[in-house]
């Protein structure tokens, strides 16, 4: 059974760096073809893909936010960490992590999401 869960602060101040952790179980991030991605959703708005890290440690970012994002993994802890610098109120959103399976160009399993509010 594959599960993912996001954790991190619920409130950050403008200009601060957000660090979110995705803790997963039921799969290995060293299995060929597997990836873990981050997707966010501002209140009442659409989904936005942010970043993905693959089984071979390849990392990809959405171009518009690439300069602010860093994705890393700790395979021994089954965790993926997303950092986003210089947070702004427009970054207020629910942040999801999700599993991308081998052969799937899609995110099959999702965490419940965590709401992050950016406010002074």
Partner 1 sequence: DIQMTQSPSSVSASVGDRVTITCRASQDISTWLAWYQQKPGMAPKLLIYAASSLQSGVPSRFSGSGSGTDFTLTINTLQPEDSATYYCQQANSLYTFGQGTKLEIK
Contact positions toward partner 1, by CB under 8 A?
37, 39, 46-49, 52, 60, 62-64, 96, 98, 104-108, 110-113
Rounded CA separation 61/18 (Å): 16
Give 90 or 106: the residue with its C-beta nearer to partner 1: 106
- Paired with 71 in beta bridges are 82
Tell the smallest beta-carbon distance from residue 86 to partner 1 (Å): 21
Tell the smallest beta-carbon distance from residue 118 to partner 1 (Å): 20
Tell the smallest beta-carbon distance from residue 40 to partner 1 (Å): 10
Rounded CA separation 101/117 (Å): 30
Give 16 or 65: the residue with its C-beta nearer to partner 1: 65
Give 29 or 96: the residue with its C-beta nearer to partner 1: 96
Rounded CA separation 64/107 (Å): 21
Asked if residue 25 lies in contact with residue 3, where contact means CB atoms within 8 angstroms, the answer is: yes
């Amino acid at each position: 059974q594959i599960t993912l869960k996001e954790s991190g602060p619920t409130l950050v101040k403008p200009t601060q760096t957000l660090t979110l952790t995705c803790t997963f179980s039921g799969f290995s991030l060293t299995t060929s073809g597997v990836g873990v991605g981050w997707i966010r959703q501002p209140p009442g708005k659409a989904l936005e893909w942010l970043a993905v890290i693959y089984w071979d440690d390849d990392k990809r970012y959405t171009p518009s936010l690439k300069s602010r994002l860093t994705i890393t993994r700790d395979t021994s802890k089954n965790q993926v960490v997303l950092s986003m610098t210089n947070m702004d109120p427009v970054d207020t959103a629910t942040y999801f992590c999700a599993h991308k399976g081998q052969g799937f160009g899609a995110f099959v399993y999702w965490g419940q999401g965590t709401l992050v509010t950016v406010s002074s």
